[in-house]
Amino acid sequence: MNNSRINKAPLWGRLLLSGNILTPILVMAVSALVFTWFEWDLVIQSFYYRNGWYMNEIGWVQFIYHYGNIPALLLSIGSLVLLFRSFTVNSMHSRNRKLYLFLVLAMIIGPGIIVNSALKENWGRPRPRDVEQFGGRYAYEAPLEIDLSSPGKSFPCGHATMGFYFFAPALLCGLWKRRYLIAVNIFALLYGSLIGWVRVMQGGHFASDVIFSGALIYLCSHILWRVMNLDIHPFYEAGKNRASMKKGHKVLLVLVGVMIVFAVMLATPYNRKQTLRLQNSEVAFADYYLLEANVQLSFSDSTYIRNQSVGFGFPGSKSRLEKRETADSLVVRQSIKGMFTELDNDLIITADTLALDHLSLQVRKGTIEIMANPDIQTQNGGTEDVVELNVGGKCFKIQAPKIIYKGQP
């Protein structure tokens, strides 16, 4: 069917007749089938896991992880500025006003609303580092398997959307020459895949998460392009009386810009490793109070405390352990400051049963895995589990929303 007939069709017709709409849908359908049937996600992840995600600390991996979103952010903010300027008197940018608006909306709707807010926050797929096959606590879930009870945020890959976002400006480039459209599409595909590959190597996302991320952004960009009628009338045609922007609209554009920057800053990666070193390793009394953590508790002839915090949040946000020691006691408190959109605190605590007379471990939100074989007395603490452990004739009190007994590892 020729382009003239497509352009005369109503919106629903232009959507259904477009290969650019049907292709990403087909890609997602086929990917869901083959990745579920062959469990390719687990196969691919196994290449990057050797008792940990051994490629995570490589310099270029960390660079892309932290700064890979900047080009898309600069482009969307720059488009917002040009959109603002297009309303000034005798502006040379007024003709491209609809195109600037498209680039801004493509960022807000695709990566912002659909991927990161609607799907990623609610789908519940555990990340690779959180599944049992790679040392985590959750069962593996196949692509498109919804688990509303899980806190997982693996599906789809949010980081990769900032590379795939360039599918949107590719449409603008296609207004001039088709080879520009092809070139920028290839760049978007490669750049988004590179960012996604980094997240796969880090254990942050499965390969299928990246594929769905790219397909969704491509689909959103092309649907928005047609909804805005840019496939037929891409340029703004000013009337005889060129309208200036109202003050309220100016304020709205400024707020949109602030929201985009704020949303991207909320996705700033956070990674902190902390090992507490004690002045007196033979303490008789130990008291732990943790706000949000998943604790692995074991018993030995020495004390060991290590925490790894991984997540996303506003720059300057912190999660750390603070200790207070006396001659025979240890008090550990967890401090979480700032604004996190996602935070996982994984603690390993080894208690010295030879020196300890009293141990109190309380977790407000999270789990405690008991890696030992003590005598256990369980109490009902309302919404929390309260366990009293008898270890070598000593009674230790453990309290958390969920306590898992795993026995000696």
pLDDT of residue 150 exceeding 90, the answer is: no
When pLDDT is cut at 50, 70 and 90, the band that residue 337 belongs to is very high
The Cβ-side half-sphere exposure at 30, using a 13 Å CA radius, reads 8
Indicate the residue among 222, 241, 266 that finishes a domain.
Answer: 266
| CATH assignment at residue 155 | 1.20.144
**Are 229 and 311 part of one and the same domain?**
no
With a cut of 50, say whether residue 409 has pLDDT above it: no
- Domain check: are 192 and 139 in the same one? yes
Higher pLDDT, 80 or 381: 80
- In this predicted structure, the answer to whether residue 89 has a pLDDT above a threshold of 80 is no
Indicate if the pLDDT at residue 368 is higher than 70: yes
- 298, 304 contact by CB (below 8 A): no
Beta-carbon contacts of 264 under 8 Å, excluding residues fewer than 6 positions away, are 69, 73
Q: Which residue has the higher pLDDT, 59 or 257?
A: 59
Query: What pLDDT shows up at residue 91?
Result: 61
Judge if 119 and 68 occupy the same domain: yes
> In this model, does residue 350 exceed pLDDT 80?
yes
Same domain, yes or no: 84 and 146: yes
pLDDT at 97: 87
Strands (E) in 67-120, as ranges, are: none
For residue 392, pLDDT over 90 is answered with no
Residue matched to tokens 């309260």: 386
Strands (E), 249-401: 268-276, 285-300, 304-313, 318-325, 329-337, 340-352, 358-370, 375-381, 384-391, 394-400
Domains in the chain, number: 2
Is the same domain home to 316 and 299?
yes
Q: What is the pLDDT of residue 383?
A: 46
Task: Choose between 202 and 19: higher pLDDT.
Answer: 202
pLDDT at residue 6 above 50? no
- Do residues 224 and 329 share a domain? no
Considering 232, 247, 266, which residue would you say is the last residue of a domain? 266
Q: Provide the pLDDT confidence category of residue 101 given band limits of 50, 70 and 90.
A: very high
Q: Among 213, 243, 266, which residue terminates a domain? A: 266
pLDDT in tens, 189-234: 999 999 999 999 999 999 999 999 999 999 999 999 999 988 888 7
Same domain, 259 and 276: no
Same domain as 220, residue 206? yes
What is the C-alpha to C-alpha distance for residues 301 and 299, in angstroms, rounded to an integer?
7
Q: How confident is the model at residue 240 (pLDDT cuts 50, 70, 90)?
A: very low
Shared domain for 205 and 348, answered yes or no, is: no
Asked if residue 139 and residue 259 are part of one domain, the reply reads yes
Residue 252 pLDDT: 77
Q: What is the pLDDT of residue 236?
A: 76
Q: Are residues 89 and 145 in the same domain?
A: yes
Q: What is the pTM of this model?
A: 0.83
> In this predicted structure, what is the pLDDT of residue 310?
92
Same domain assignment for residues 119 and 186: yes
| Cβ(160)–Cβ(195) below 8 Å | yes
Q: Average pLDDT, stretch 10-31?
A: 80
The parent domain of residue 35 ranges over: 3-266
pLDDT value for 395: 79
Q: pLDDT tens digits for 293-310?
A: 999 998 888 889 999 999
Mean pLDDT, to the nearest integer, of 245-255?
A: 72
- Residues constituting the chain: 409
